[in-house]
Structures are given as structure tokens and as C-alpha cells.
Amino acid sequence: MSQFGSLDALQQDIDGEAWPVAVRIHGVNAVGHESENAYACEGKDIPWLQEILAEPVWADWEVTYRDVIVLDRDNVPVAVYNLTSHDLGEPANYAELKALLQAAADRE
């Protein structure tokens, strides 16, 4: 399963649990990689956003390929989890990212 597919599964897990706030995972594709959009989205429910030159999200957030930026309730970044370094196919990594998201949801 692809990393984005694993994120899709993680979103489904989260949706099936009672968390203090709604947690939503979104994908953001970098400018110049538009040709990958159809493949990345196929069969998945997670929203997929395409960066545009007028809104350079990757540069503004200093994103590295496959970064998951975890935001708190105020949309402030609280963690970065890279899926190249942490393959979500490994149960321990999946659990670790889920715990980061849970901790962000629990922050007040």
C-alpha cells in the first residue's frame, strides 16, 4: 500500500473513534508534480490539494517530500513526521503517527 493509501486508512481509523475534535488528513501536492494527481487520488477519500505558484505552501511551510505536518486545534504546527523515514506499512510507525495526531487533538 502506498503511504497516501496508509494515510487514507488512518483517516478511516480516526473517523471510527471518539476523539475530542475532528481530525482531517489532507494531501498537498507540490507545483511541478501535477501529473501524479490522478494516481495519488485513485480510490482514496482524503482531500488532495494542488499547490499553485500564487500559494507556495511547500516553501512557506518548509515541507520535505512526504512530510506530514501535524497541526493543533489552532492550526499551529506541532510536529513533522516524514513518511520516507517512517514507512506507515510498519505498524509501529502507523501507531506513532496516530499518537501524534491524538496528542494534537487533545491539546487545548
Residue 1's pLDDT is 66
Q: Give the pLDDT confidence score for residue 41 in this predicted structure.
A: 79
Its pTM stands at 0.88
**Which domain, by its residues, includes 66?**
3-106
Mind listing the pLDDT tens digit for each residue in 19-39? 989 999 998 999 999 998 888
Q: Which residues are CB-neighbours of 41 under 8 A, at least 6 positions away?
A: 48
pLDDT digits (tens, 9 = 90+) for 64-78: 999 999 999 888 999
| Domains contained in the chain, number | 1
pLDDT for position 24:
93
